Amino acid sequence: MASRASKPIIVIDTREQRPYTFSDTRVGGVVHAALPAGDYSIQGCEMQIAVERKSLADYISTVVHAQERFGRELALLKTYPRAWIVVEGSLDEVLQGRYDSRVTPQSLLAMTASLMTRYAIPVLFAGDRPSARALVEELLVQWHAHHAERSGA
């Protein structure tokens, strides 16, 4: 069994409105702090890894109406060795147009592909909030384990 010290301490951005809770068996704790970019990171690695969490409605609103502001955040995230955008919604919802916006599914898919291509940051459609929470936890835990292994910690 891993000791508490070998588990990542998750940093949750202070602006995160509805923060996730994480498994005590896999995470050594959480702290709240202002992150330069993203909503979740690992303590001590805040400029190396970040996860930006978006509800599907927020993701659509952001990519359609706040491209300039989001572009600045993505430009910063692009400088990180690892960053992801995790969407609490499914790709099927996007393709079927099951969202409250006038943007067409094809336009939304094109905007998503464009930002992944331009910024080299994966957009992961996680289906729903519980699945997104599990995915964020797994990304952070796996990155921490890989980083610790590579650094000999």
d(CA 124, CA 86): 5
Tell me the CA distances in angstroms from 30 to 20, 21, 26, 39, 64, one per residue in order: 10, 9, 11, 12, 32
pTM to 2 decimal places:
0.92
pLDDT in tens, 117-132: 999 999 999 999 999 9
The SS3 assignment for 151 reads helix
pLDDT in tens, 31-68: 999 999 999 999 999 999 999 999 999 999 999 999 89
pLDDT in tens, 59-75: 999 999 998 989 999 99
Parse the chain into domains and list their residue ranges: 47-151
Choosing among 3.40.630.40, 3.40.50.10130, 3.30.420.140, 2.70.170.10, the CATH entry for 47-151 is 3.40.50.10130
d(CA 116, CA 96): 21
36, 46 in Cβ contact below 8 A? yes
Amino acid at 20: Y
Q: How confident is the model at residue 151 (pLDDT cuts 50, 70, 90)?
A: confident
